[in-house]
Amino acid sequence: MPKAYWIAHVTVTDPDPYALYAEGATEAFRQFGAKVLARGGRIEGLEGEARPRNVVIEFPDMDTALACYNSDAYQSAKAHREGAGDAQIMILEGV
């Protein structure tokens, strides 16, 4: 079964609640065996809209990534992110 990658592009507008989101989301990712590959590092926007914060998280498979997103732990963390920024989040199945 191929791995899956959670990809997020974010513009944070209110850092305090966003920090609570990041803390809770990190715990949810840990519970589902995820591995953070990139988080908030330097970017070079080459085409299209570039956001200042970008995250790539590896999961064992697509079902696990979706279970994490839909989990109580992640949804509780997500409540802190709402209104604290603009995010585009997707899960991509690997090859």
Model pLDDT for residues 71-92, shown as the tens digit of each residue? 999 999 999 999 999 999 999 9
Model pLDDT for residues 9-60, shown as the tens digit of each residue? 999 999 999 999 999 999 999 999 999 999 988 999 999 999 999 999 999 9
Residue 21 lies in a domain: yes
Residue 72 lies in a domain: yes
Residue 25 lies in a domain: yes
Domain count, the chain: 1
Residue 20 belongs to domain with CATH number? 3.30.70.100
The domain in which residue 35 lies consists of 4-40+54-93
Is 12 strand, coil or helix?
Answer: strand
Q: Under 8 Å CB-to-CB from 79, ≥6 apart: which residues?
A: none
